[in-house]
Amino acid sequence: MTFDPQQVLSRALQTFDIEAAAVQGLKARTGAAFVEVVRRILATQGRVVVTGMGKSGHVGRKIAATLASTGTPAMFVHPAEASHGDLGMITAADVVLAISNSGESAELDAILPVVKRLGALLIGMTGGAQSSLARHADLVIDSGVETEACPLNLAPTASTTAQMALGDALAVALLEARGFGAEDFARSHPGGALGRRLLTHVSDVMRRGDGVPRVRPEAPFLELMREMSVKGLGASAVVDDAGTVVGIFTDGDLRRLIEQGVDLRGVVAREVMHPRPRRIRSDALAVDAASLMEQHSITSVLVCEPGDILVGIVHIGDLMRAKVI
């Protein structure tokens, strides 16, 4: 065997062209049937049960996962296992999406009549317009391609790319039709970065109670510094007797006062505090607190309820530990 780098690159580029053409070719054949499939799936009271054999089965697993994560309850059932008991997972309320490029998979053919007897809606995704799958199906999505990228025209390549693209198109069309938004997506992905950003609120990460540094306006400067040191956040709120925020003092304020040569021995908190601190509500998203910190180059934000009543503080370290940033 002779290794030809130029031939390797040429074959790779040709594969891209063939698979891109396969996906582009779907546009002319995707119309009323596709729309009806989306309409029927939206109307179903059950789940979308995806099934397929071999490479089509691998694509089917991905399609089922994408549907489930974008608001359409879905699962994958292996057709061979279905013949040995897993058909019990399918009910009359479900929609079955059967995938086969040829439409003549023996394992799939064996369960199609049973699916029909169950009363489930059967959707075929196939390139075989006259195949067994197409004849059994209530609705057919044409996934046919002119040629595979495989030089032998045997290995499923362009055909599986076309199936994948159609599955994504279904998921996206259903997502939009359901009004499925970013917060819905986050609820399906609580362990991911998006989930943390859209589901974590300030109340989930803020310091509360004795963990919140605070002093009265008349507190001596030494008391103010002690409170900042003990709580370790580099800042302290200044609140009145009712717990209303009147100001904040930070490490940055301390540095600026020292640079100016101010004698701090006899001052009180009111005289050195910043009177307009940044605030955020406890029900705000934690990512909004992060944006506020970035916008104003600060490391802590006071958490207040209506009336500027102090209920907590959130520090940049809290956001980092929660993996919000």
pLDDT at position 197 is 67
By DSSP bridging, strand 95-100 and strand 48-52 are parallel
Distance (Å, rounded) from C-alpha 157 to C-alpha 72? 27
Helices (H) and strands (E) in the chain, counts: 15, 11
Fold entry, domain 5-180: Rossmann fold (3.40.50)
Can you say whether the dihedral through the CA atoms of 176, 178, 179, 180 is positive or negative?
negative
pLDDT at position 106 is 93
End-to-end CA distance of the chain: 52
Tell me the C-alpha to C-alpha distance, in Å, between residue 128 and each of 29, 121, 148, 222, 229: 13, 19, 15, 83, 74
pLDDT at position 196 is 64
C-beta of residue 248 within 8 angstroms of C-beta of residue 236: yes
For 139, which DSSP code? E
pLDDT at position 325 is 78
pLDDT in tens, 213-230: 999 999 999 999 999 999
Distance (Å, rounded) from C-alpha 159 to C-alpha 290? 45
In 149-237, which ranges are continuous DSSP H helix?
Answer: 158-178, 182-188, 193-199, 202-205, 221-231
pLDDT at position 207 is 95
Q: What is the CATH number of domain 202-321?
A: 3.10.580.10
Q: Sort 311 into a burial class: Cβ within 10 Å, 0-12 / 13-18 / 19+.
A: middle
Count, residues in the chain:
325
Non-local CB neighbours of 75 within 8 Å, separated by 6+ positions: 47, 48, 49, 50, 64, 68, 89
Non-local CB neighbours of 106 within 8 Å, separated by 6+ positions: none
Distance (Å, rounded) from C-alpha 251 to C-alpha 247? 14
Q: Taking CA 71 as the corner, what is the angle to CA 157 and CA 284, rounded to the nearest 5 degrees? A: 125
Q: Which amino acid is it at 254? A: L
Distance (Å, rounded) from C-alpha 163 to C-alpha 63? 9
Residue ranges, comma separated, of all CATH 3.10.580.10 domains in the chain are: 202-321
Residue ranges, comma separated, of all CATH 3.40.50.10490 domains in the chain are: 5-180
pLDDT at position 242 is 93
**pLDDT tens, residue order, the chain (325 aa):** 788 999 999 999 999 999 999 999 999 999 999 999 999 999 999 999 999 999 999 999 999 999 998 889 999 999 999 988 888 999 999 999 999 999 999 999 999 999 999 999 999 999 999 999 999 999 999 999 999 999 888 889 999 999 999 999 999 999 999 988 766 666 665 555 555 666 789 999 999 999 999 999 999 999 999 999 999 999 999 999 999 999 999 999 999 999 999 888 889 999 999 998 999 999 998 989 999 999 999 999 999 999 999 999 999 999 998 888 7
pLDDT at position 10 is 94
pLDDT at position 180 is 80
3-class secondary structure, 324: coil
